[in-house]
Structure 1
Amino acid sequence: MHIKSQTSILYFGTPVVLVSTKNENQTDNLAPMSSIFWLGWRCIIGLAAASKTTQNLLRTRECVLNLPSVHQAGAVNLLAKTTGSNPVPIGKVQKGYRYHQDKFELAGLTKQTSETVQAPRVNECPVQMEAVVEAVHGLAEHDADMRGKILTFELLIKRVYLDESILMDGHPNHVDPDTWKPLIMSFQQFYGLGEQVHPSTLAEIPEHLYNTPDREKALDRTG
């Protein structure tokens, strides 16, 4: 039986992403988040308006979305309550956040040079996506108590890099879901994906039929 619930958060399970951006002084910021979903070669992310990543995205209009696997959970956890904002925003002070200047060093992660954006990629992450900001939208614009606290960003993916270990044999453009184990955040806890639970009818559709003009334009620029 279902009962009414007033749970404070609704994080039922989404992939963790390490967002790398450039600070004003050209140092690098790296922030974990999990409010994200994809549509073709675009995605939507949601961030607190006061976060350093938000400020950097508004200024530079670009970032790298680095997806860790379950094997990088420890590194992600080291970044969990850090911020690139100094002083630390009041809301984060209450949650125990601390300022840290070099988050790559703190987490023991390695930078890789990007091709289309200034922010670096994270070498240890099996999936890396260079992206640019296409649009910014406020959340809860009609609610005086929430207005201005959260922003959503529409990001256009410009480059995708996949580690060979998660690809299907002989298919450089196809991820093998049996080997790709994304790090999942569910109600503040880290999880991985288990085994396939049921055959999917959607899997009968060839992946190329989901191709979009965004991907074709990105391929043209790569070539």
Structure 2
Amino acid sequence: MHVVPGLKVLYFGTPVVLVGTRNEDGSANLAPISSAFWLGQSGMIGMGNGSQTVANLLRERECVLNLPSASMVDAVDRIALTTGNPVVEEYRVQQGYRHVRDKFALAGLTEQVAELVRAPRVAQCPIQLECRVVAVHPFGEVGPNVSAFQVEVLRAHVEEELVIPGTQYVDPVGWDPLIMKFCEFFGGGANLRPSRLAQGWQMPHQLGERAGHIRV
């Protein structure tokens, strides 16, 4: 039986993204988010307007979307309640946020130079997407405090072991993204069953061999 609980937050979960941007003085900023989706070579990310990342995106018009694996959960959690904005709004202070200038150091992650944008990559992230901002949309109710940024992916960097040999596809069994569902971290990478959609699109995943499944 279904109930109607009047959910306070609709935050069902997506892969965690570490958004790399440049501050006005050229230093690196890194922000974990989990409001993102992709279609084709475009993506959409959303975040609160009070963040340093939003200011950087509006000014620089570029970023790197670094996708951490589930094994990087500790590093991501270390910067979860931090902001690159030196002015921390009171409601964020109440939530436990604090200003941190060097989030790479706090997280224990390594800054890596991008090829087509100034924004930083995260060396430990197995997937890194260099992007430019193409549009900004206010999001939410009247007087929203959230913005959605539409980005174009200029270049994708993927760990070689995650690429299916001889193809341009990521191995879905090998790729174990860090997932956030209702503010909690999840991972696992276990494949539940073959997908008819993947079969229809003729994806070269070979799950029957890699994950012990038999295609039906």
Is the pair's TM-score, using the shorter chain for normalization, greater than 0.5?
Answer: yes
In the aligned structure 1, how far is the partner of 2:91 from the partner of 2:160? 40
2:174 counterpart of 1:191: no
Instruction: Give the aligned length.
Output: 203
Q: Secondary structure at the match of 2:115?
A: coil
Match of 2:207 in 1: none
Show the 5 A alignment for 1:36-55. 36-55=36-55
In the aligned structure 1, how far is the partner of 2:13 from the partner of 2:145? 22
Show the 5 A alignment for 1:1-223. 1-140=1-140, 143-144=141-142, 147-171=143-167, 173-204=168-199, 205-206=201-202
Q: Deviations over 1:73-95 (max 9, x none)?
A: 00000010000011212231121
Letter in 1 for 2:193: H
Aligned sequence identity (%): 48
Q: Is the 8 A contact 1:184 1:193 kept in 2?
A: no
Q: Deviations over 1:80-111 (max 9, x none)?
A: 00000112122311211000000000001001
Q: Secondary structure at the match of 1:77?
A: helix
**Aligned-pair distance for 1:148?**
3.4
* TM, length-normalised to structure 2: 0.90
Q: Which runs of 5+ in 2 are unaligned?
A: 205-216
Q: Which runs of 5+ in 1 are unaligned?
A: 209-223
Distance 1:72 1:206, change over 3 A: same
Point out 4+ residue stretches in structure 1 off by more than 3 angstroms.
none
Q: Secondary structure at the match of 2:66?
A: strand
When structure 1 is superposed on structure 2, of 196-205 and 67-76 the one drifting more is 196-205
Distance 1:189 1:135, change over 3 A: same
Distance 1:207 1:60, change over 3 A: farther
Q: Say what the alpha-carbon RMSD is for the aligned residues.
A: 1.4
In the aligned structure 2, how far is the partner of 1:10 from the partner of 1:189? 14
In the aligned structure 2, how far is the partner of 1:118 from the partner of 1:78? 24
Letter in 2 for 1:166: L
Letter in 2 for 1:168: I
